[in-house]
Structure 1
Amino acid sequence: MGFRRLVILTGAGISAESGLGTFRDKDGLWTRYNLEDVATPQGFARDPAFVHEFYNARRRGLREAQPHAAHQALARLEAAAPTGSVLLVTQNVDDLHERAGSRNLIHMHGELTKVRCDACETVAEHRDDLSTGSVCGHCGGAGFMRPHIVWFGEMPMMMDEIYAALDACDLFVSIGTSGTVYPAAGFVEHVRRRRRAHTVELNLDPSEGHSLFAERRYGAASAIVPEFVDRLLAEGI
């Protein structure tokens, strides 16, 4: 039997095969950087130039990365399903889902290719380097521009819309997540309380909350995600 409303959560594991570093693995970014220095409002206030260079380097790396078969399969699923029935929620700040063709998408942790003015709160597309002298194109203020990223201690974006979709879904799929970062790590438990939604984990290895999922498949995202999507499409979503 096909599913009518799908919510798909993706994390750093789906982008790792595109060459973008994960955060919590043994060689992840948080083993090389102190998160309090580069991923908190307090760190930005202490040394904005250092924080800008951290994200400038990640932005440059993103230019070289390309979507792979898992990103493409999720875009194919959305295109084949009735309009609005598949919502992709990503913890990733890269734009690989968009470049693969996904359109119904929420970046709950922000976007690396956008900047925000702390003076007037304008959000704008920005793919070049930022500095402490960068000027807001809307209000003209200099020194207020920051990456449009949700830092530790800040509220993830569009949570009302995400929980509304979780409440309505009959299939929840988690792909490439560690199961340690909240609130996303709590999505599967939120869905399970409704009892009528199927839950699936697709991951390289079992996540911290793997036992909460009714169905679990492990392997490289570029292999197992297209296989799973093919199965859904064959069942007539």
Structure 2
Amino acid sequence: MADKIVILTGAGISAESGLGTFRDEGGLWAQHRIEDVATPQGFARDPALAHRFYNMRRAEAAAAAPNAAHDALAQLQRDWPGEVVIVTQNVDGLHEKAGARAIHMHGTLATALCAACAHRWDSPSEMAPGASCPACHAPAARPDVVWFGEMPYHMDEISDHLLDCEIFAAIGTSGQVYPAAGFVQEARNSGARTVEMNLRDSDTSHAFDDHLVGPASKVVPRWVAGLLNSR
């Protein structure tokens, strides 16, 4: 039976599609305080600001196209004889645009969430304070994204995959945000071979067996081609 591969992707894989990371100068994140737009407290304090921010992010994501790294992972998922699990910290939906399936641990811009009853539905292109839930009708609609201080989604499922994978790869992640930053150690403890693909060393680079340095659109297709040619 072919090896099971678990791949964690972060903002770096989407940077070449025109979607900025937290640390990009002049980008959308640089124009806002994280405390104002990416915490429950910030949303409670100024929901209009938070909705404007996510409306802009939603518009950017809708206009963006997958790059060669997304396409390569979709090909790996199609052609690898074993299971390929993509876990993403991104909310942009570019893995799906490329034809892949992904576990969205930080939610997605494509859906809205009711803060009152936890119902989810397809998000409109623009949301505003006081929008009502189609299930319970409470004026409690919010973006279906995981904010700082909230528990990421699907953690039990992700942990199960990390326990029985033979290869773990992290692409475009900073290694600064837990629990995702701890995934490499979970995989290593289970005997997985680990590889990091990034523009530069991350805070968890020391924990990986292999390192591929460069733009995701270059290093990810080469890595995928190597895997597929080895079979």
State whether TM-score is above 0.5: yes
Whole-Å Cα distance in 2 between the matches of residues 71 and 191 of structure 1? 22
For 1:136-215, list aligned pairs within 5 A. 136-142=133-139, 144-194=140-190, 196-215=191-210
TM-score by length of 1: 0.93
Whole-Å Cα distance in 2 between the matches of residues 152 and 3 of structure 1? 37
Matched residue SS, 2:59: helix
The answer on 1:101 being equivalent to 2:99 is yes
Listed one character per residue, the Cα deviations across residues 63-110 of structure 1 (whole Å, up to 9, x for unaligned) are 211001100000000001236x1100000011000000002x210011
Matching residue within 112, 132, 137 for 1:135: 132
Letter of the aligned partner of 2:125 in structure 1?
A: D
**Post-superposition shift, 1:189?**
1.3
**Structure-2 residue corresponding to 1:226:** 221
Distance 1:54 1:77, change over 3 A: same
Whole-Å Cα distance in 2 between the matches of residues 12 and 202 of structure 1? 12
The structure 1 segments of at least 4 consecutive aligned residues displaced by more than 2 Å after TM superposition are: 24-32
TM-score by length of 2: 0.96
**Structure-1 residue corresponding to 2:61:** 62
**Post-superposition shift, 1:171?**
0.2
**Structure-2 residue corresponding to 1:118:** 115
**Structure-2 residue corresponding to 1:53:** 52
Instruction: Count matched residues.
Output: 231
**Structure-2 residue corresponding to 1:216:** 211
**Post-superposition shift, 1:3?**
5.1
**Structure-2 residue corresponding to 1:90:** 88
Q: Equivalent pairs: percent with the same residue?
A: 53
**Structure-1 residue corresponding to 2:30:** 31
Matched residue SS, 1:161: helix
Distance 1:3 1:173, change over 3 A: farther
Contact 1:24 1:30 in 2 (8 A): yes
Contact 2:20 2:29 in 1 (8 A): no
Question: Cα RMSD (Å) of the superposition?
Answer: 1.5
